[in-house]
Amino acid sequence: MATTTPFFLITLLFSFSFLTSVTFSRTTPTTTTSPLDVTSALVRVTQILDILNGHSDFQPFAQETIQQSSLDSSSFSFSFPLHSRELLNKTQHKDYKSLLQARLDRDLTRVNSLVTKLQRALKKEEVKSADNQVLTQGGKLSAPLVSGESQGSGEYFTRIGVGSPAEQFYMVIDTGSDVNWIQCEPCVDCYDQSDPIFDPSSSSSYESVSCESRQCDQLEVSACSRDRCLYEVTYGDGSFTVGTLMTETLSFGKSGYVEKVAMGCGHDNEGLFTAAAGLLGLGGGSLSLPEQLKATSFSYCLVDRDSNKSGTLELNSPVPSDSVTTTLSKSSKTNTFYYIGLTGFAVGGHPVQIAESTFELDKSGNGGIIVDCGTAVSRLEIEAYYALRDAFRSQTGNLKSTRPYALFDTCYDLSGLSTVKVPTVSFIFYGGKYFDLPAENYLIPVDSDGTFCFAFAPTNSSPQIIGNVQQQGMRVTFDLSNERVGFASYKC
């Protein structure tokens, strides 16, 4: 014992020192100003328009070799690429303003959808007896015929294999959803997608889920037909997917495959995620992909939406050692959303005068701020937004202001400039920890001429949201086992 005790103590002290450096680092901002590369941003604007308008033969993913080995759910880890939605759904746009307006329209719908979902959770008992109850006689599911073409939940997608033998499909990822699903034959009504629609009869690993199963019981809305569990997922704009709950084998490229993943086999799907085949739910609910795979963590790195490069989605990956971390929690009313311990912002190294309680989640399930990969522009409580915006404006008197655009009320004419220095915007997390955002994560182009706008927006609804514009180019890690979230710069 005498020979091992000193080594144990040294190891323990080293471990504590390392964890302390990771968890409590950066209690001051690293910079007060950040460079904005105007030229590079406008080059990306041109490139994305060329791709969308068919002036480039860029293809996001080629067919990938599937690794024929099963992943052990207790120890597996894997990574697969992510792209922004425009590279899959190549809708032509006459100019960048047209593209941006389409994004902002989707974004508003997305935010409304999350707000609606939260309000439903807060009034769950009322919803069960309300008019949007979808169970009908005979154990069938029906849904309102409302167009969902404006639904904006699918901002990033990946490519995975479904079934045995595996067929590869483009799938949207979504931290604001729990149920995984894919469009299935026979289709009652399916929207257009890039790949052939999945045919469960061609897969030897397809199994329908019984009505008495744990997975069926975990659905928010379900019914039973011939001992098959039927499901429906509806979204805030009236879009929906309806079908049979199944278990299938999912293949993750060169990482291997996982068997018996519960997901919806959607036979009637209205307006969602045009071009993609379905959705991978990364939320905190029991049917989400991380929860089903018993993942201890997952992380992603979201590339600039104007970039033709890819980021990655990783499961069971460690928190990068240089991450700034804070608390990760869920509401008592819904497990889906990931609430984080944010206390405020700094601009140019100076804390903005915002009450810490502004971002707290109360016991009733209201308030708080979530991290969401499907929302683009971060939404802040009105007074918090004004305080942040005014602090930024006060330190940009050297820049030429120009008229507002859409939901952005703070814009600048940077035409003719190659690089400018702007005040650094930083998150402040519990414990006074700072995380500095790169300038391109809060000052974004809105046209091809050099107009850039401050990319935050006000909201009078819960929840507040950290969107993907503020997350782009960084590794965001959801450490589920330790209830922490980490932010690390330039980890794509």
Choice between 64 and 291, residue whose per-residue pLDDT is larger: 291
Q: Are residues 466 and 372 in the same domain?
A: yes
pLDDT given for residue 68 in this prediction: 61
Choice between 297 and 235, residue whose per-residue pLDDT is larger: 297
Q: Are residues 189 and 333 in the same domain?
A: no
Using alpha carbons only, how large is the chain's radius of gyration in Å?
23
Domain finish residue from 264, 293, 312: 312
Phi-psi region of 412 (alpha: psi -120 to 50; beta: other; left: phi over 0): beta
Choice between 14 and 244, residue whose per-residue pLDDT is larger: 244
Q: Could you tell me the pLDDT band of residue 152, with boundaries at 50, 70 and 90?
A: very low
Q: Are residues 145 and 43 in the same domain?
A: no
pLDDT given for residue 237 in this prediction: 61
Task: Please state the rounded mean pLDDT for residues 469-473.
Answer: 96
Examine the pLDDT at 211 and tell me if it is beyond 50: yes
Examine the pLDDT at 241 and tell me if it is beyond 90: yes
Tokens of 25: 């680092």
Examine the pLDDT at 233 and tell me if it is beyond 80: yes
Tokens of 282: 């990364």
Q: Are residues 330 and 368 in the same domain?
A: yes
Examine the pLDDT at 140 and tell me if it is beyond 60: no
Task: Please state the rounded mean pLDDT for residues 67-80.
Answer: 64
Look up 174 and say whether it is catalytic. Answer: yes
Q: Are residues 41 and 76 in the same domain?
A: no
Task: Please state the rounded mean pLDDT for residues 43-67.
Answer: 75
Q: Which residues are CB-neighbours of 170 under 8 A, at least 6 positions away?
A: 61, 88, 157, 158, 159, 193, 194, 195, 275, 276, 277
Examine the pLDDT at 406 and tell me if it is beyond 90: yes
CATH number, residue 362: 2.40.70.10
Q: Are residues 276 and 341 in the same domain?
A: no
Q: Are residues 449 and 395 in the same domain?
A: yes
Q: Is 440 inside a domain boundary?
A: yes
Q: Are residues 245 and 329 in the same domain?
A: no
Least confident among 47-51, 164-168, 258-262, 334-338? 47-51
Examine the pLDDT at 142 and tell me if it is beyond 60: no
Name the active-site residue from 372, 436, 447, 479: 372
Q: Could you tell me the pLDDT band of residue 63, with boundaries at 50, 70 and 90?
A: low
Look up 372 and say whether it is catalytic. Answer: yes
Q: Is 122 inside a domain boundary?
A: no
Q: Is 128 inside a domain boundary?
A: no
Q: Is 116 inside a domain boundary?
A: no
Q: Could you tell me the pLDDT band of residue 137, with boundaries at 50, 70 and 90?
A: very low
Task: Please state the rounded mean pLDDT for residues 9-17.
Answer: 34
pLDDT given for residue 135 in this prediction: 35
- Full domain range(s) for residue 389: 27-51+319-489
Q: Are residues 297 and 372 in the same domain?
A: no
Burial class (CB in 10 A: 0-12, 13-18, 19+), 27: exposed
Task: Please state the rounded mean pLDDT for residues 338-367.
Answer: 95
How far apart CA 134 and CA 138 sit, in angstroms, is 12
Least confident among 67-71, 147-151, 283-287? 147-151
pTM for the whole structure: 0.87
Task: Please state the rounded mean pLDDT for residues 45-56.
Answer: 84
Q: Could you tell me the pLDDT band of residue 30, with boundaries at 50, 70 and 90?
A: confident
How far apart CA 2 and CA 4 sit, in angstroms, is 6
Examine the pLDDT at 141 and tell me if it is beyond 50: no
Q: What is the mean pLDDT of the chain?
A: 85
Q: Return the residue matching tokens 């029906």.
A: 142
Per the structure, the count of domains in the chain is 2
Burial class (CB in 10 A: 0-12, 13-18, 19+), 7: exposed
Q: Could you tell me the pLDDT band of residue 75, with boundaries at 50, 70 and 90?
A: low
Nearest to 32, CA basis, from 349, 346, 428: 349
pLDDT given for residue 55 in this prediction: 67
pLDDT given for residue 144 in this prediction: 28
Domain finish residue from 312, 340, 359: 312
Choice between 238 and 303, residue whose per-residue pLDDT is larger: 303
pLDDT given for residue 97 in this prediction: 94
Q: Is 277 inside a domain boundary?
A: yes
Q: Is 410 inside a domain boundary?
A: yes
Q: Is 200 inside a domain boundary?
A: yes
160: phi then psi, degrees, rounded to nearest 5? -135, 165
Domain finish residue from 312, 329, 352: 312
Q: How far is CA 459 from the centre of its chain?
A: 19
pLDDT in tens, 361-379: 998 899 999 999 999 999 9
pLDDT given for residue 76 in this prediction: 67
Q: Is 420 inside a domain boundary?
A: yes
Q: Are residues 205 and 343 in the same domain?
A: no
What is the bridge-based pairing of β-strands 240-251 and 257-270? antiparallel
Examine the pLDDT at 219 and tell me if it is beyond 90: yes
pLDDT given for residue 427 in this prediction: 98
pLDDT in tens, 85-104: 777 776 788 899 999 999 99
Name the active-site residue from 174, 268, 306, 479: 174
Q: Are residues 328 and 207 in the same domain?
A: no
Nearest to 254, CA basis, from 23, 412, 78: 78
Q: Are residues 213 and 77 in the same domain?
A: yes
